[in-house]
Structure 1
Amino acid sequence: MLKRIEVKHLTLGMYLHEFCGSWMEHPFWRSRFLLQDPQDLARIRATEIHEVWIDTSKGLDIAPGTACVSRAEADAQLESDFQHLEDLPTQPAPPAPAVTPQPAGMDQELRRAAAICSQAKQAVVTMFGQARLGRAIDTAVAQEMVDEITDSVTRNPDALISLARLKTADEYTYMHSVAVSALMVALARQIGMDDGATRMAGLAGLLHDIGKAAVPLEVLNKPGKLTDDEFTVVRSHPVAGYALLQGTDLPEPVLDACLHHHEKMDGTGYPHRLTGEQISTLARMTAICDVYDAVTSDRPYKRGWDPSESLRRMAEWTRDHFDSRLFQAFVKSIGIYPVGSLVRLASGRLGVVTEQSPGKLIAPRVRVFYSTRSDLRIPPEVVDLSEPDCRDKIIAREDPARWQFPDLAQLWSDLPDPRW
């Protein structure tokens, strides 16, 4: 049985099933293991992780009377919270820009987005190269790329955000910046920021990790467990990025977001352990977008989580980690079941989410392709769950690792090889 407990109740002999926090918050390569080494227990308690999931079928249980939450209880609460998102007041629409890009269908915008991703990746590679050599970063190029990203997200918010997530582990550092920029633009539009503030959010996303140019590549791309010293070096990147961007013509809020995107609402983040309103809105937005793209992306040492599963896990951390209002807006901006999520329908079919349905967070468009009743692939078919005459609905998220479908990305994108 899975139980969520506070770290202070963790003891040797328990089986650690999952940290309640992203793998950026702790130095452990594995997240599931029998806790036998006192040094591992001490290292866990030294992190900013507050809670963990333990599996009592594989290790010791908690002492009677110790506070805990079961998996079923946690899932029921999260489902209730997500179901109520549609009832929340709609944020004011952002003022229309001088030139509004015309809306585009998913198929049409995916091809544009592919070109933008390729160009933006090269621009980020160049910026990181300039930073490693101690040269000034060309902010004009960054501005141009943010304009392209903003226009694409305005035409169709699903396309670029979903495509940028499909990065290879080798391209992670660069494409992560592009993905976070797109997510920031979508979130800014969701909360009603004007055109200038939206582009500033996109800039913060594109440049938030520029300080990783100061981290040795052998540490940044290490495929295994980081030492405590290496973990400290990685955590120095916000300060390094802030230093690299000083003296440029970038707005101060962008620099602040680069410096403080790893701060947490409860004050356990870094580098300055800011709390609540001490953290700027732009930095709080960047924290959400940064973590979402990180945990959904493949890394040399870990496969990314499914998009909808990532939102579920992030929701469990919101009390301590994120601004709850902004997190709710973030979920509304990408959907409860983001594009690429593997889901099970009431009909017994499995499908992958291909596009959101406007105003219907729990009823996206899904390409069904597998029957669990016959245990066979079926001809792919797009089902719009928001249609009034549609009697099917999503009843569960599915773990792609369990099914091992090799073509999930192609099924939702219709692109032969959408990974970078």
Structure 2
Amino acid sequence: MQYDPNNSIKIPIDTLTLGMFVTAIEHSKRVNLSHAGRVSSEKAILQLKQNGVKYAWVDQSLSVQGCVFKPVDDSEQSSTDENQPDVSVKPKTQSRFVQQKKASKIIREAKGLAQKLINQTFEGKVIHVGEIEEWADDVIDSVLVDSDALQCVSALRNKDKYLLEHSVNVACLLVTFGKHLRLPKETLKQMAIGGIIHDVGKIKVDDKVLHKPAKLTPEEFEHMKLHQVFAKQIITNVKGLSDVSRDVCLMHHEKLDGSGYPASLTAEQLPIHGRMSSIVDIYDALTADRCYKRGMSSAEAFKILLSLAGSHLDKDLVYKFINCIGVYPVGSIVELNDGRVGIVWSSNPDEPLKPEVKCFYSRKYKRYIEVTYVDIKHSAAKIDKAIAPHNLEVDPTPFFDL
């Protein structure tokens, strides 16, 4: 459904009725809605009033026939508005729009930064942590304001850019996880830096092994494990690297029972950030498309994490990680019990099985549908199952944008 907010008329909020198509709201400033639509309930009108909204902008041509419109004469109330504070009341969706634009910029910058670090490593140049710190601060700010936006953007994957995207995602997930555990902001920053560089040693692994579209032979796997030895050598050229960042880089393949690599560390030798990096690294690797496998759904990945809990991974932290990102993580694909398919759009910490879902396709009718945002907490619909993106018959990528 197409509309132009500039063609809408302004009406007092008290005259807004069911069936009107709202494109913007106003307190003392006009705010165009990121996804406009018809008013479907009296509750929605009441919520706008409670939020201090004084006027609504409506598109007459897209409203239900029979609606009575009472346009406002701006000149009559301009003096009244001059006395109002310069504050616009933005709905959740408008705030998400702003945060998601910021998140997209952060992810783009991160990929460029990761590529720059790889290039500098190839050229034998010294890497300065200062180049990463500013980006790490932006990630932390984004997670603290709206972690859903960052998770949704980072969920978009390209298997041909796995090394870059995996490093960025691990960094972002570590910050989200660390926030959930209430770790200090400085620790979050150092974990983000460690996440960006954690796989830097892979640039020295033979490309035939790194990109082999089949299971590695024992000899090839031993060669692959050398990427951690290479990483230890490479990060000696990273000036200003903290112990936390170094641990994240060098401990993400260590296991509690001492069977990991490169140092065969045991539980008592692994600090919390080292244990967290192992969980996050495995989860992101499992859910990503690779040259030799398709990505799993989050539910399938959780089963594997739980199977490793206690022996390889910290059991308590595994449970906390699952609780942190949700049974249905933001950015994952789910199918509702009525056949609609959508992207998990925002989390519900109090009831993790009932997030908000952005529905865009119907498996029942085998066609795209008008985009709708379904809050499972307040809907008769329920989530039936998670879907790995490659198992969906249509491309969900365009619907990650607002």
Same fold flag (TM > 0.5) = yes
Confirm or deny that 1:354 pairs with 2:342: no
Pick from 121, 126, 132 the counterpart of residue 142 of structure 1.
132
| CA distance in structure 2 between the aligned counterparts of 1:235 and 1:404, rounded to whole angstroms | 36
Alpha carbons of 1:215 and 1:335: their partners in 2 closer, same or farther (altered >3 Å)? same
| CA distance in structure 1 between the aligned counterparts of 2:155 and 2:365, rounded to whole angstroms | 32
Q: Is the 8 A contact 2:338 2:364 kept in 1?
A: no
Q: Computing the radius of gyration over CA atoms, which structure comes out larger, 1 or 2?
A: 2
| CA distance in structure 2 between the aligned counterparts of 1:305 and 1:261, rounded to whole angstroms | 20
Aligned position for 2:397 = 409
Q: Is the 8 A contact 2:151 2:331 kept in 1?
A: no
Aligned position for 1:330 = 321
* Aligned AA (2:247): D
Residues 14-413 of structure 1 mapped to structure 2, 5 A cutoff: 105-246=95-236, 248-387=239-378, 390-406=379-395, 408-411=396-399, 413=400
| CA distance in structure 1 between the aligned counterparts of 2:268 and 2:115, rounded to whole angstroms | 34
| CA distance in structure 2 between the aligned counterparts of 1:402 and 1:216, rounded to whole angstroms | 31
Aligned positions, number: 309
1:234 is paired with a residue whose SS is helix
- Consecutive unaligned residues in structure 2, runs of 5 or more: 1-91
Deviation at 1:333, TM superposition (A): 2.1
| CA distance in structure 2 between the aligned counterparts of 1:217 and 1:331, rounded to whole angstroms | 33
Q: Is the 8 A contact 2:107 2:154 kept in 1?
A: yes
Deviation at 1:148, TM superposition (A): 1.7
The TM-score with structure 2 as length reference comes to 0.71
Deviation at 1:365, TM superposition (A): 0.4
| CA distance in structure 2 between the aligned counterparts of 1:167 and 1:342, rounded to whole angstroms | 13
* Aligned AA (2:176): A
1:158 is paired with a residue whose SS is helix
Deviation at 1:284, TM superposition (A): 0.7
Q: Is the 8 A contact 1:308 1:338 kept in 2?
A: no
1:108 is paired with a residue whose SS is helix
Deviation at 1:137, TM superposition (A): 1.4
| CA distance in structure 2 between the aligned counterparts of 1:308 and 1:128, rounded to whole angstroms | 32
Q: Is the 8 A contact 1:257 1:280 kept in 2?
A: no
2:352 is paired with a residue whose SS is strand
| CA distance in structure 2 between the aligned counterparts of 1:236 and 1:108, rounded to whole angstroms | 42
CA displacement 1:209-263 (0-9 Å, x = unmatched): 1222222334323334434333212111122212222363211222122111101
Deviation at 1:297, TM superposition (A): 1.4
% identical aligned pairs: 34
2:384 is paired with a residue whose SS is strand
| CA distance in structure 2 between the aligned counterparts of 1:344 and 1:167, rounded to whole angstroms | 20
| CA distance in structure 1 between the aligned counterparts of 2:235 and 2:193, rounded to whole angstroms | 12
CA displacement 1:381-400 (0-9 Å, x = unmatched): 1111123xx23222333344
* Aligned AA (1:236): L
Deviation at 1:304, TM superposition (A): 1.3
Alpha carbons of 1:215 and 1:400: their partners in 2 closer, same or farther (altered >3 Å)? closer
1:257 is paired with a residue whose SS is helix
Deviation at 1:280, TM superposition (A): 1.7
| CA distance in structure 1 between the aligned counterparts of 2:142 and 2:346, rounded to whole angstroms | 15
| CA distance in structure 1 between the aligned counterparts of 2:292 and 2:185, rounded to whole angstroms | 38
Deviation at 1:328, TM superposition (A): 1.9
Deviation at 1:374, TM superposition (A): 4.4
Deviation at 1:337, TM superposition (A): 0.2
1:357 is paired with a residue whose SS is coil
Aligned position for 1:97 = none
Alpha carbons of 1:157 and 1:287: their partners in 2 closer, same or farther (altered >3 Å)? same
The TM-score with structure 1 as length reference comes to 0.68
* Aligned AA (1:409): T
**Greater shift after overlay, 238-247 or 328-337?**
238-247
| CA distance in structure 2 between the aligned counterparts of 1:312 and 1:159, rounded to whole angstroms | 25
| CA distance in structure 2 between the aligned counterparts of 1:302 and 1:215, rounded to whole angstroms | 19
1:353 is paired with a residue whose SS is strand
Alpha carbons of 1:252 and 1:399: their partners in 2 closer, same or farther (altered >3 Å)? closer
* Aligned AA (2:110): A
Alpha carbons of 1:207 and 1:392: their partners in 2 closer, same or farther (altered >3 Å)? same
1:156 is paired with a residue whose SS is helix
Alpha carbons of 1:207 and 1:277: their partners in 2 closer, same or farther (altered >3 Å)? same
Q: Is the 8 A contact 2:376 2:382 kept in 1?
A: yes
